[in-house]
Amino acid sequence: MSDLEAAVAAGVLGADEAHRALLQATVEVARAIFGAKAASVFLLDEEADELVFEAVAGAGEGELIGMRFPAGTGIAGWVLTTRQPLIVDDLNADTRWSRSAAESTGYVPKSMMAVPLLVDERALGVLNVLDRPAESRVRLAEVDLLGLFANQAAIALDLLQRARRARAVLAGEGRLAPLARVAARLEETERDAAFELLQALERVLVETS
């Protein structure tokens, strides 16, 4: 790898760290603003059809990152599929909730606010806010605020995915490696598009080989 390519690779790795930090900051602020016991972001892994804990603040922080569930699991799965936000004050009374999935995390909430993370109509994941104060009633302004946090989290998640795709392509040594080295020299906006194209080409080559 040339010095330029090494520098680009280092920049991609740095971007991954920065976008992860932005996502973590988003859930930490959301938890604080709503006075919740926990807040988290699930990322949709499309290839595995699973939801993955990507950022957690409060209960489970530092322990749940990387934990996976089938994409249709529980409230988060419903929100992801329907692309509709959902506020549930009593989870035990909602048939969409998966108590077994909650128990597997070590924390069983009583209430939840969940909202899909959408970018250009693509559902990237779900933002959850768990156990707001019992005496606090959800107001319209708070629903709007939750939407703002969802927008911020979606942007951070999209950037994180782009950084990871770029890193995966740069790390590849397959048939498209020479093209990846060319893509690494492009301007940032063009580089993102080139890496996405290269990943699509790689999938096609794998499927047809």
120 in the Ramachandran plot: left (φ > 0), alpha (ψ -120 to 50) or beta? left
* Domains contained in the chain, CATH given: 34-157 (3.30.450.40)
User: Does the pLDDT value for residue 37 go beyond 90?
Assistant: yes
- Cα gap 190→81, rounded to integer Å: 31
pLDDT-derived band at 196, boundaries 50, 70, 90: low
Instruction: Report pLDDT for 5.
Output: 46
Instruction: Report pLDDT for 23.
Output: 85
pLDDT-derived band at 146, boundaries 50, 70, 90: confident
Instruction: Report pLDDT for 144.
Output: 81
Cβ pair 161, 123 in contact under 8 A: no
User: Does the pLDDT value for residue 107 go beyond 90?
Assistant: yes
Report the Cα 19 to chain-centroid distance in Å: 11
User: Does the pLDDT value for residue 6 go beyond 50?
Assistant: no
Instruction: Report pLDDT for 184.
Output: 54
Average pLDDT score, the chain: 79
Report the Cα 158 to chain-centroid distance in Å: 8
Mean pLDDT on 85-99: 93
DSSP for 89-107 reads S-GGG-TT--HHHHHHHT-
pTM above 0.85, yes or no: no
User: Quick one: what percent of the chain has pLDDT higher than 70?
Assistant: 67
